[in-house]
Amino acid sequence: MAGTLYLCATPIGNLEDITLRVLRVLKEADLIAAEDTRNSIKLLNHFEIRTPMTSYHEYNKIEKAYKLVEQLRAGKNIALITDAGTPGISDPGEELVRICHEEGIPVTSLPGPAACITALTMSGLPTRRFAFEAFLPRDKKERVRVLKELREETRTIILYEAPHHLVKTLQELFEALGNRRLTVCKELTKRHEDATQTTLENVLKYYKDIEPRGEYVLILEGKTFQEKELEARMSWEEMSLADHMAHYEAQGVEHKEAMRLVAKDRGISKREVYQALLK
């Protein structure tokens, strides 16, 4: 029988956050696939885990995945760990999981730390609906496209950023999204953990004089539905009422129904639309 791929969540800072189940699986597995073996050996040594380890990272994620699948087919159980947090979230682990599913290899995930969820729950911003964006793309064109999409996002937005790119990213967010509320989380679960509620404008002023340090998670409020409705109404108001009517009638909407839709878009009464059309 084939072995199982275990996705093992490891601490994002505080080593006490590792679960008993993860410790057991790391000890019992035949092999541990780690994103950075030099980093992971510190964790394994701390918990006296002697399981053999191999590297699985961004630059060998496809070729190495098939080699790991061969071992899984042979009945070996493999534990996958990332540098910190839950494997498969914005890291090469997602490719190994995909290939395992394609090859019929069992996959299971052992719950544990994830920086995005940790930051979201302590942010003070709405948590029912959220969009996880991880790191913004480095490619300029793709970055502009993503920022344009985020401008219209109504869910709470989660972003990761490194300290040396933080100010540039905050500036781009301010220019693309306007002065949104956000919570800046850094060094999560570590000694100097901090979560500060602020605005994009204020945080940019703050980092003019302070050098960013540590790993950051940015939690931004989404655009409210009221803002979207107001913007839509303003865009309609730039169009003549006759053109607005023509927009709906060209789609086969009957005249009276088109008047109702125009009135709703503009936040006016149907009677006002009728009188304006008479003029």
- Inform me whether the pLDDT recorded for 236 exceeds 80: no
Binning pLDDT at 50, 70 and 90, where does residue 242 land? confident
Query: Helix 255-266 to helix 241-249 angle, to the nearest 10 degrees?
Result: 130
Residue burial 151-166, b: 16+ Cβ < 10 Å; e: rest: eebebbbbbbbeeeeb
| Predicted pLDDT of residue 260 | 87
| Predicted pLDDT of residue 229 | 66
Cα-Cα-Cα-Cα dihedral sign, residues 58, 62, 64, 70: positive
Binning pLDDT at 50, 70 and 90, where does residue 183 land? very high
Average pLDDT, the chain: 92
- Inform me whether the pLDDT recorded for 228 exceeds 90: no
| Predicted pLDDT of residue 230 | 61
Task: Note the pLDDT tens digit of each residue in 136-180.
Answer: 999 999 999 999 999 989 999 999 999 999 999 999 999 999 999
- Inform me whether the pLDDT recorded for 233 exceeds 90: no
What are 198's strand-pairing partners? 182
Binning pLDDT at 50, 70 and 90, where does residue 128 land? very high
| Predicted pLDDT of residue 268 | 84
- Inform me whether the pLDDT recorded for 15 exceeds 90: yes
In the chain, pLDDT over 90 holds for what percent of residues? 77
Lookup: tokens for 153: 């996002």
3-state SS, one letter per residue, for 91-157: CCHHHHHHHHHHCCCCEEEECCCCHHHHHHHCCCCCCCCEEEEECCCCCHHHHHHHHHHHHCCCCEE
| Predicted pLDDT of residue 271 | 86
- Inform me whether the pLDDT recorded for 225 exceeds 80: no
| Predicted pLDDT of residue 231 | 63
Q: What's phi and psi for 33, nearest 5 deg? A: -100, 120
- Inform me whether the pLDDT recorded for 247 exceeds 90: no
Task: Note the pLDDT tens digit of each residue in 39-69.
Answer: 999 999 999 999 999 999 999 999 999 999 9
| Predicted pLDDT of residue 246 | 83
